Amino acid sequence: MPDITLTTLILLCLAAAAAGWIDAVVGGGGLLLLPALLLGLPHVPAAHVLGTNKAVAIVGTSGAAVTFLRKAPVRVGLAVRIGLMALAGSMTGAFFAAGISSEVLRPVIMVVLLGVAAFVMLRPSFGTAAAGDGTGRPVARARIIMAIVLVGGGIGFYDGLFGPGTGTFLVLALTAVLHLDLVTASATAKIVNVCTNAGALAMFAYQGTVLWQLAAVMAVFNLAGGMVGARMALSRGSGFVRAVLLTVVFSLVAKLGFDQWNA
C-alpha cells in the first residue's frame, strides 16, 4: 500500500462507498471513485490508479449484481452473453487505450450524454414499463443480437478505452435496445459491468498496475455501498432510478467539461 495518511484512507473509503451506491442504482460510480483516487494518490502513476479503481469497482458491482438477481427479473443467460462480449470488448479497448487521446473523446462523449439527457427528459415514459423484459414477454432476436454486439462489444470497448460512465451507458442502451424498465436494465447492467471490469482488471493485473492492499480495504466499503444502492433501486422503482440517472448524466457532463477546459 502506498504511504498515505489515515485521513486520506478514510476519505477514499467513503468515496468508495458512495461510488458503490451510485454504481448500483444507475452506473457511473467511477465518476466519483476515479477522481478521488487521483486526488488521494497524487504521486502514484495513472496506470496504478486505473488498475486499483477496477479492483475496487468489480467487488461492489458483483455485490450489487447478486442483490439484484435475488429480486429483479433478469434473463441471466442473455446478460452473461452480453457480458462475455463486453469482456472481450473491454480487453480490446484496454489494448488500444495507449494510442488514443482522451482530449478527442471527451467532446464526443459530452455531446452524446447531453443528447441522452434530453431524450430521457422529453420521454417521461422512457424506462417506466417493459415491452419485453425477458421474463414474460419475448424479445425479438434482432434486438438480442444488437444488444450482444453493440451494447456488449461497443460499450465494453469504450470501458477499456476510456471508462467514465460505462454503467450509465449500459443502463440507457439496455433500456433502449431491449425495452427494459430502468430497474431491470440496471440489474442486467450490473452483470455486464462485472464482465467489463473483469476484462480490464485482468489486463491491469497482468501489467502489475494494481495496488491490491489499498483496493482490498476500499472494496469492503464499495461492496456495502453497492448492496445498499441495489436495495434502494429495487424498493423505490424506476422513478427513483430515473432521477438518479439524470443527476449522474449531468454530473458526468460537468466533469468531462471541466477536464476538457483544463486540457
The pLDDT of residue 131 is 47
Q: How much is the mean pLDDT over the chain?
A: 81
Encode pLDDT of 107-150 as tens digits. 766 776 777 677 667 766 655 555 444 444 556 788 888 889 98
The pLDDT of residue 225 is 92
Element spanning 96, H or E = helix 76-96
**DSSP, residue by residue, 89-151:** HHHHHHHHGGGS-HHHHHHHHHHHHHHHHHHHHH-TTTTTS-S--SSSS---HHHHHHIIIII
The pLDDT of residue 48 is 86
The pLDDT of residue 133 is 44
Contact 249, 168 (CB under 8 A): yes
The pLDDT of residue 217 is 96
Give the pLDDT band of residue 55 (cuts 50, 70, 90): very high
Encode pLDDT of 148-177 as tens digits. 998 899 999 888 777 767 877 888 888 888
The pLDDT of residue 255 is 74
Q: Residue holding cell 477496477?
A: 54
Q: What is the pTM of this model?
A: 0.75
Percent of the chain with pLDDT over 70: 84
